[in-house]
Amino acid sequence: MATIVDDKYSAALSIILGSLAVAFSDVVVDSMVVERARGESQSTSGSLQSLCWGSSAFGAIVSAYFSGSLVDTYGVRFVFGVTAFLPLMTSAVAVLVNEKRLPTEERSISLSSSRLIESSKQQIRQIWTAVKQPNIFLPTLFIFLWQATPQSDSAMFYFVTNKIGFTPEFLGRVTLVTSVASLLGVGIYNSFLKAVPLRKIFLVTTILGSALGMTQVLLVTGLNRKLGISDEWFSIGDSLILTVLGQASFMPVLVLAARLCPLGVEATLFATLMSISNAGSVAGGLVGAGLTQFLGVTKDNFENLALLIVICNLSSLLPLPLLGLLPDGSPDADNGQTKVD
């Protein structure tokens, strides 16, 4: 994408390959986190997740600080080149990971075709056995439904770029603010919310997020300017508050998923749970896209955008009656682990 890509099909292929590579490394990192969290207290497990996501947020802060200005100054191909170089640094750090290697004989056996097929079948059976358990299936179902509510992000992006005229540099600043907000949300969870019951966290953050999300209507209708708040400052403040709430509510999802993983299939099951969560987000995006088309909102027509925002924010409250699917009490209440033979 930094050199030869010049049409939408090759761009799509490049994005798919890049996402696939990131997905592979992400699963490996998740497996390391889950394995290290096993046997630890819930607070320790939460601190480990907070450290990982805090580090991710810090990296996002650094990239967001430079991304918009670099695009304006050097163009998108230069930025693609820079972002292609950064994963190579991650590969260099990977050699520092301390891991126990299998003996040569076991490696050769595990890589044989028959052994690989049998191992894959066994792992699928283990995952199915684990997922069927109510203490894993029901929370996973709630997380999927919680993520699958419709979103208006794409429509809002076109509004702030085509209608309001936000520049790439300013959007980079907004991304910087949201990255700082993510770091702040991780800190708030790690400092104050680790011992709070999971249901209470979801209830409060969902209601607050829905109410505060309605403030985007002010930006769409221009009421913020009548209140003396510029579009730029309103957008920054809105992104800051909503991101803090979103990150604080998402952290217990990660901790819960890590603690649900039974012994023997930690990495694969955690990746499966996160894939289900991501599938919920994709479903929410598709539903949001359908609503956007149904209401006639396009990149140039924003007449019904305020209605779209109201519908999306109200729909985020729909999963709340299903809070009973989540474990009762605080995350610390049950430190037990399920072993899959």
- 244 vs 172 pLDDT, higher one: 244
Average model confidence (pLDDT) for the chain?
81
The residue type of 305 is L
Distance CA 148, CA 277 (A): 9
Looking at the DSSP assignment, which residues form a beta bridge with residue 339? 263
pLDDT band per the 50, 70, 90 thresholds, residue 330: low
Burial 272-293 (b: 16+ CB within 10 A, else e): bbbebbeebeebbbebbeebbe
> Residue 333 pLDDT > 60, yes or no?
no
Residue 337 has pLDDT above 50, yes or no: no
pLDDT greater at residue 242 or residue 318: 318
Does the pLDDT of residue 338 top 50, yes or no? no
Intra-chain end-to-end CA distance of the chain, in Å: 46
Report DSSP letters for 121-165, one per residue. Answer: HHHHHHHHHHHTSHHHHHHHHHHHHHHTS---HHHHHHIIIIIS-
Q: Distances in Å between the alpha carbon of 266 and those of 230, 273, 310? A: 48, 11, 39
Beta carbons within 10 angstroms of residue 51's beta carbon: 13
Q: What is the pLDDT of residues 203-242, one digit of tens each?
A: 888 899 899 889 999 999 989 888 888 888 888 888 888 8
Model's pTM, two decimal places? 0.73
Least confident range from 70-74, 118-122, 148-152, 299-303: namely 118-122
What is the C-alpha separation between 240 and 184, in angstroms, rounded? 9
CA distance 249 to 253: 7
In this predicted structure, the answer to whether residue 160 has a pLDDT above a threshold of 50 is: yes
Residue 108 has pLDDT above 60, yes or no: no
Query: Which pLDDT score is estimated for 295?
Result: 92
pLDDT recorded at residue 132: 79
pLDDT of residue 42: 57
On the question of pLDDT at 153 being above 60, the answer is yes
pLDDT for position 171: 81
* Rounded average pLDDT over 237-250: 83
In this prediction, residue 44 has a pLDDT band, given cuts at 50, 70 and 90, of low
pLDDT at residue 320, as a whole number: 92
Q: 3-state SS of the chain: helix, strand, coil percent to 5? A: 75, 0, 20
